[in-house]
Amino acid sequence: MAPWGYSKENGPATWHKDCPIANTGVRQSPIDLITTGQTCAKYDSNLKPVIVSYPAFSEATFLNNGHSVQFQPSAGNLSELSGGPLTKKYKFEQFHFHWGNNDSEGSEHRVNGKMYPAELHLVHWNSESPNFSSFQEAVGSNDPHALCVLGFFLKVGAENASLKPITDLLSKVKNAGSSVSFPGKFDLKAVLPETLTDYYTYDGSLTTPPLAECVKWIVFKEPIEVSTAQMEAFRAVDDGHGKPITGNYRPPCPLHTRTVAASFK
């Protein structure tokens, strides 16, 4: 399989060659979250706040896999997700980022066509399904809600002290394929907005190959602020071909017959 990426030769427009679902799928991600007009997100008063239980991680690996940087705690982590549109409890697997090479692009989801400079994805898998008992099995399960990914937009503003331990580590994983064990504890809860009440939610897919259509997406309205220096740190990470990763985001996909629900008016 030609290694996929984000360049002209191996980027999103070519992924269908190894992953036909890229073009034939009817619930692909990301999407443009439209807030007015015909296909707009519809307010659902039944949608509850999202509940996360993220005890500080004490052991984790921080990896540059050539198309993103990923924070993966050791198997014993007990972090969980529930509430929101979910009927089951989900286990935390990893988080990673998507970003652009300037502040006007970089997020995968868009809001009325607007892109943010970056997007944080917190990946979880359904730990109460009878059909699988690990993250890897969940991804391959064909279950429409095997995974739940929380998406947070990043915007440029004040330095984010909670994300500083992560952005300060980016220079240590500059080379693709490099990883470091995360020094000390990391408090992910401190990175997130206080209240997880206002979000969009819809059924979608992984946004990179294999593009499996197994994700319940929850994208929060309120962006997280990071400084310009923190954004620049992402843009200095290499893709393994001697170039910085400067645009690891997939363009929006057709909504088809899907509807997007909003937990807020």
Ligand X SMILES: Cc1cc(C)cc(S(N)(=O)=O)c1
- Kindly write down the DSSP assignment for every residue of 93-138, as one continuous string: EEEEEEEBSSTT---SSEETTBPPSEEEEEEEEETT-TT-SSHHHH
CB of 121 or CB of 216, closer to ligand X: 121
Give the per-residue contact string, 174-213, with ligand X (x = CB under 6 A; - = no). --------------------------------xxx-----
By CB under 6 A, is residue 70 in contact with ligand X? no
Nearest to 31 by CA among 201, 197, 145: 201
Residue 206 interaction partner, one of Zn ion, ligand X, none, beta carbon < 5-8 Å per kind: ligand X
CB of 212 or CB of 226, closer to ligand X: 212
Whether residue 167 contacts residue 174, with contact meaning beta carbons closer than 8 Å, is answered with no
Of 16, 67, 96, 256, the active-site residue reads: 67
Alpha helices in the chain (DSSP H): 21-24, 135-139, 164-167, 228-234
Asked if the peptide bond before residue 210 counts as cis, ω within 30 degrees of 0, the response is yes
67 is catalytic: yes
Residue 64 interaction partner, one of Zn ion, ligand X, none, beta carbon < 5-8 Å per kind: none
Q: Which residues share a beta bridge with 43?
A: 262
Q: Is 170 helix (H, G, I), strand (E, B) or coil?
A: helix
Residue 107 interaction partner, one of Zn ion, ligand X, none, beta carbon < 5-8 Å per kind: none
Whether residue 258 contacts residue 42, with contact meaning beta carbons closer than 8 Å, is answered with no
Residue 235 interaction partner, one of Zn ion, ligand X, none, beta carbon < 5-8 Å per kind: none
By CB under 6 A, is residue 109 in contact with ligand X? no
CA atoms within 13 A on the CB side of 163: 25
Asked if the peptide bond before residue 183 counts as cis, ω within 30 degrees of 0, the response is no
The number of residues that bind ligand X (CB under 6 A) is 6
Restricted to residues 110-169, the positions that interact with Zn ion (CB under 5 A) are: 121
By CB under 6 A, is residue 237 in contact with ligand X? no
By CB under 6 A, is residue 121 in contact with ligand X? yes
Whether residue 138 contacts residue 147, with contact meaning beta carbons closer than 8 Å, is answered with yes
CB of 29 to ligand X, least distance (A): 6
Q: Which residues bind Zn ion (CB under 5 A)?
A: 121
Give me the active site residues, please: 67
Q: Which residues bind ligand X (CB under 6 A)?
A: 121, 123, 149, 206-208
